[in-house]
Amino acid sequence: MSPKVSRRNFLKKSTAAGMGAALISHMAVENVMAQTPAPPGSLPVVISSVNGLEAVKKAFEMIKGGSDPLDAVIAGVNIVEDDPNDMTVGYGGLPNEDGEVELDASCMHGPTCRAGSVGALKFIKNPSTVAKLIMDRSNRIMLVGEGALKFALAHGFKKENLLTDKSRELWLKWKDNLSTHDDWEPPHDKEGNPITHGTINCNAVDARGNIAGVNSTSGMAFKVAGRVGDSPIIGAGLYVDNEVGAAGSTGHGEANIKVVGAHTVVEFMRDGASPEEACVRTLKRIVEMQKKAPKWWGELQNVAYYAINKRGQFGAAAIYGETRYAIATREGVRRLECAYLFKKPAGAN
Ligand code: SD4
């Protein structure tokens, strides 16, 4: 019996019996998700944003080899953080308005219900590993700025210049063309397309149904110094519940923070929605909220969610079409199209 069907039946009864029974129905749904075994051969599964093809491949192999799912997704994400050609993650990430690279990251380990996160971290190219270190070596969740750097250095991380020639050139070009109307102008690739979804979110479920996730980014290009986005905020950029699933985001962080997106996706899945449906429903909340905000406060920029559940079902959705994601299953590693709310308008990022 699918979680959806059993929930519907249960809800019928709970409506008749009132609030107490409704509470029980919620618990019953959780139990269905946790207790219905994944179909044979459907696990492990690793999902990520489009730039994570190598990351999902690495994480999948590691999980198959017996690694913990969090170690696996962090090893996968480290590949993208180390890559100077990915200009919105780690080394080579686009800097803030002062020309300094400030990184945000978070991680969650489902089986032990722990989380770690780091905001506005300078000089360390693997913020996801620092987030895990905070999780492993302290009883805190989030460290930012100077304190986060001190913590990383004390644990043997190397201080490095993260600005590459390429990212410095783009920053200088942005500065040269700055006008009084500019807030955030996305950089463009060689073909003139805006570079947007460079942040990486990667989530995995292993063969035993244990779940983990990570999110890592250099944030919005040329952001105000000290600006922290959604990526390191547990519940917004990333959320994992070992009984249900995991979700994470890329895109316009401020819009996502307001709907506590990753947590909302997981809660929709807990209530029986498929991963894709849960992502779509959360994006609709963003659209509703952005409609009510004054125009200058935030236009509708793209946001995407990537979700998996405990049974190895997966899905992703974006506000605008032509957004893709990466997936690794027993059928192989590939990129797929996200579901979307609107066709991508010309020039949209
Ligand atoms: C942020 N969500 O800092 C990140 C940026 C991003 O595609 O994902 N860009 O708001």
Is 70 exceeded by the pLDDT of residue 186?
A: no
List the catalytic residues. Answer: 199
Cα of 228 vs centre of ligand 1, distance in Å, is 10
Order across the sheet with 339-342: list the strands.
Answer: 238-241, 245-251, 303-309, 314-320, 339-342
Ligand 1 atom with the smallest distance to the CA of 199 is: 8
219 lines ligand 1 (CB under 6 A): yes
Please state which CATH class domain 36-342 belongs to: alpha beta
What pLDDT was estimated at residue 183?
54
The pLDDT tens digits for 255-269 are 999 999 999 999 999
Amino acid identity at 261? G
Residue identifier of the C-alpha nearest atom 3 of ligand 1: 219
> Confidence class of residue 10 from pLDDT cuts 50, 70 and 90?
very low
Is 80 exceeded by the pLDDT of residue 224?
A: yes
The pLDDT tens digits for 233-248 are 999 999 999 999 999 9
Question: What is the arithmetic mean of pLDDT over 58-82?
Answer: 98
253 lines ligand 1 (CB under 6 A): yes
220 lines ligand 1 (CB under 6 A): yes
Distances (CA, A) of 169 to 166, 174, 343: 5, 9, 32
> Confidence class of residue 175 from pLDDT cuts 50, 70 and 90?
confident
CA distance 47 to 80: 14
CA distance 182 to 174: 10
**In the chain, how long is the greatest CA-to-CA distance?**
67
Question: What is the arithmetic mean of pLDDT over 176-201?
Answer: 62
Cα of 249 vs centre of ligand 1, distance in Å, is 8
The pLDDT tens digits for 289-345 are 999 988 777 789 999 999 999 999 999 999 999 999 999 999 999 999 999 999 998
Cα of 138 vs centre of ligand 1, distance in Å, is 27
What pLDDT was estimated at residue 194?
55
250 lines ligand 1 (CB under 6 A): yes
Cα of 123 vs centre of ligand 1, distance in Å, is 19
Ligand 1 atom with the smallest distance to the CA of 237 is: 2
The pLDDT tens digits for 274-283 are 999 999 999 9
Residue identifier of the C-alpha nearest atom 9 of ligand 1: 251
- Top mutation candidate among 102, 184, 217, 259 for ligand 1, by most atoms within 8 Å of CB: 217
What pLDDT was estimated at residue 296?
74
* Per-residue buried b or exposed e for 25-38, using 16+ beta carbons within 10 Å of the residue's own CB: beebbeebbeeeeb
217 lines ligand 1 (CB under 6 A): yes
Cα of 196 vs centre of ligand 1, distance in Å, is 8
Q: In terms of Cα–Cα distance, which of 339, 266, 265, 256 is closest to 300?
A: 256
What pLDDT was estimated at residue 286?
97
Is 90 exceeded by the pLDDT of residue 37?
A: no
216 lines ligand 1 (CB under 6 A): no
Cα of 233 vs centre of ligand 1, distance in Å, is 12
Question: What is the arithmetic mean of pLDDT over 138-167?
Answer: 97
Residues of the chain above pLDDT 70, percent: 83
User: Assign residue 215 a region: left if phi > 0, alpha if psi is -120 to 50, beta otherwise?
Assistant: beta
88 lines ligand 1 (CB under 6 A): yes
Residues of the chain above pLDDT 90, percent: 75
What pLDDT was estimated at residue 41?
81
Across 14-23, 69-78, 91-100, 214-223, least confident range: 14-23
- Top mutation candidate among 117, 189, 250 for ligand 1, by most atoms within 8 Å of CB: 250
Ligand 1 atom with the smallest distance to the CA of 254 is: 10
Query: Strand pairing partners for 317?
Result: 305, 339
Mean pLDDT, the chain, integer: 87
Cβ-based neighbour number of residue 343 at 10 Å: 10
